[in-house]
Structure 1
Amino acid sequence: MTEPESEGMVAQESLRHTYLQAIGVQSWLPRGALPHAAPSAPWVETFTWPPTQRFEQWEDAFEDTSEVPAAEQPVLPVTPSVNAPRGVSRALESLQGMFAPEGTPSQKVLESTPPALSETTPSASALDMSYQPEPVAPLQNPLAERYPEPQFSLVLMTLGELLIVDSLPPQGRQSFSPAHIRFVSALARSLGVQGYDINPIHHHWPAFVGSALNQGPDEALRSVRRLLGNMLKSQEIKRVLLLGEASAQWILEQPEPLDSLRGLRFSLRAGVAAVSSHSVTALLRIPELKAELWADLQPLLATRT
């Protein structure tokens, strides 16, 4: 670093210390080499504070007048030497105006004084301070006791008026394979829905890795509610098919096992019927379950439009 650059760094650091001193903050710089620390810049060795050598020509600006009562301290314009750095001079002038005693004719103080409130401006006492935010009701989550640390993987697919939510094994976050897509396409045709592209939307829980984040059952249920609400709002969904235990429990918010929920007709909202059955993974591995699936689909076939 050249000598002019070093002098510029010293002046900049002096300006910073001037502001810090004005607000009561004491700053420190290393005076020697620290173990395992990066080496300091060369200008650090020549920097001193308060400036007693490099800025002797305007050191009177830093004289301590704390022993003189505030009322007796004269407020005089600071006129540092022409050799003082320009940034430090501006800092001293601004600080003089900021911290001048009340009643002084300092132009800086007059400029920083806020204008008086007009007669039409309502006072703080006249404002309506009676509003209080409504308390948030605790979440009613029947799944919290059964799943204190929930883990599940859902796949959501919209095909016209039909919404299919499948459950994947959460271990390893298995992907939705082409075999799964072919089975869902055939299942939709059996329900009278065809001609739609299948675009699976995955929803894994926990959503993130890390113990610092709250990923308990309440947050899991809120995430499912939010996702389902957005899909029902943006689509003309009339029928919902829930495949697998995780899908049935977290969509219907029921802690019962899948065998207790299969084949029953539920209403997610007005005009939206839902039934549950086995997951696509189970149906692909155990073809004998297809007969039970067909029996479970009957309430949705009865509501076909």
Structure 2
Amino acid sequence: MITELRRRAYLGAMQVVSWLPRSELPFAAPSRPELFEPPAPEPEVAAAPVVETPAPSAAPSTVPTPAERPRIEVPRPATQARGEAKPVAADEPAPAEDTRPATAPPPRFALQLLRAGDCLLLVELPNGESFQSRDPAYLLLKDLLRAAGLPDSPRLIGEPVRWPLLVRGNMDQGPDAARDFLQGFVAARMDEGEPCACLWLVGLPAVRFAGEADSEAFNRELRIEGLGAAWALPGLEMLMEEPARKAELWQAMRRVRQRWMSRSE
């Protein structure tokens, strides 16, 4: 059921000027009796030329229409919230590019310094922990020392060097910093102890950061400023995984061992 005011509003929206209900409507105003009388017959008039005239527009309805609701502008999210790029004005300067060199990530390695006779050994720790007496890598190292004519029970010098030194902080721990620290560490141990006939660099981290070389230098002699003569060797784990490398290592040892054997004689 709808009220008379709303019913007239609907009829006005449909441009219905007059209407008659088929039955009595609830809440409706009383009907006007003149609407139910038959229309009077129109008098006959002489035919006149037909002149087409525009149809009169329907009289405006007196039924009040509902007031138009005010439009409410809903704020839309900015384009930046949807990940769209912000347009740059023509006269707005482009952001300056960052020309600073990218910082290299810090290398990660663990090395142990040992002494066997007249030689110092900077050895990569395969699992990052100190050697144990029954470790396969340590047993292989003892075999290398016996073949080189050196004591097969090397003496530990200090704690292992683990890089990076700090987990947090702003200190530079890149490759250059690792090289400077490692070379300074070995040089200080040389000055504190007995003379060194040859420095063994066992493993790629020792060759790279103490000898400033790469894997191409394996089984070769190096001359390092501040550290003297050195010999680059593959890592113990690499020798265990690739036994074919041992033959080249034995051949190189026959040449290099003269450095420390001549001093012991």
Alignment of 1:55-70 (within 5 A): none
Shift of 1:154: 1.3
Match of 1:266 among 217, 222, 235: 222
Q: Which sections of structure 2, spanning at least 5 residues, go unmatched?
A: 1-100
Q: 2:194 matched to 1:235?
A: yes
C-alpha separation in 2, matches of 1:174 and 1:274 = 24
Paired residue for 1:4? none
C-alpha separation in 2, matches of 1:150 and 1:176 = 21
C-alpha separation in 2, matches of 1:157 and 1:205 = 18
Match of 1:220 among 149, 163, 178: 178
Post-superposition CA distance 1:124-171 (Å, at most 9, x none): xxxxxxxxxxxxxxxxxxxx99964222221211112111122235xx
Q: Normalised by the size of structure 1, how large is the TM-score?
A: 0.45
The alignment partner of 1:188 has SS state of helix
Alignment of 1:96-135 (within 5 A): none
Paired residue for 1:298? 254
Paired residue for 2:242? 286
Tell me, yes or no, if the aligned pair for 1:163 and 1:240 is still in contact at 8 Å.
yes
Q: How many residues align?
A: 157
Q: 2:149 matched to 1:149?
A: no
Match of 1:163 among 116, 120, 125: 120
Tell me, yes or no, if the aligned pair for 1:153 and 1:168 is still in contact at 8 Å.
yes
Instruction: Pick the structure with greater CA Rg.
Output: 2
1:245–1:216 Cα change, 3 Å: same
Shift of 1:295: 2.5
Q: 2:253 matched to 1:253?
A: no
The alignment partner of 2:179 has SS state of helix
Paired residue for 2:128? 173
Q: Which sections of structure 1, spanning at least 5 residues, go unmatched?
A: 1-143
What residue identity is the alignment partner of 2:144? L
Post-superposition CA distance 1:242-285 (Å, at most 9, x none): 1111111111123xx31x11222222358942111211111223
Q: Normalised by the size of structure 2, how large is the TM-score?
A: 0.51
Tell me, yes or no, if the aligned pair for 1:275 and 1:299 is still in contact at 8 Å.
no
After superposition, the CA RMSD in angstroms is 2.9
- Over the matched positions of the two proteins, sequence identity in percent amounts to 22
C-alpha separation in 2, matches of 1:195 and 1:173 = 21
Post-superposition CA distance 1:213-245 (Å, at most 9, x none): 332223212210221111221221101221111
Post-superposition CA distance 1:28-49 (Å, at most 9, x none): xxxxxxxxxxxxxxxxxxxxxx
The alignment partner of 1:248 has SS state of helix
Tell me, yes or no, if the aligned pair for 2:222 and 2:231 is still in contact at 8 Å.
yes
Paired residue for 2:165? 207
1:271–1:153 Cα change, 3 Å: closer
What residue identity is the alignment partner of 2:168? G
Q: 2:168 matched to 1:183?
A: no
C-alpha separation in 2, matches of 1:229 and 1:271 = 6
What residue identity is the alignment partner of 1:262? F
Structure (1 or 2) with the greater helix fraction: 1
